[in-house]
Structure 1
């Protein structure tokens, strides 16, 4: 399960960075981490 989450996180991060550029990708990445923490905790 944890490996699957890590895999999805990597794919999501790459797609966001490619789609929106590096700075937008970083912002979205931290937003996604916050979202995951709220869902999992």
Structure 2
């Protein structure tokens, strides 16, 4: 959940599957983590 919004609700709004929503969120977290790690160096 992002901002306490269930992936089910996001999926309905975006007209995609819950799995797609979860995948996009997971990928975004990984990319953001890498970005933050690069900024520290």
The count of corresponding residues between Structure 1 and Structure 2 is 29
What's the Cα RMSD here?
A: 2.2
For structure 2, the residue ranges without an aligned partner over 5 or more in a row are none
- Of Structure 1 and Structure 2, the greater helix share is in 1
Runs of 4 or more consecutive aligned structure 1 residues displaced over 2 Å after TM superposition? none
Using structure 2 for the length normalisation, give the TM-score.
Answer: 0.50
For structure 1, the residue ranges without an aligned partner over 5 or more in a row are 1-8
Using structure 1 for the length normalisation, give the TM-score.
Answer: 0.50
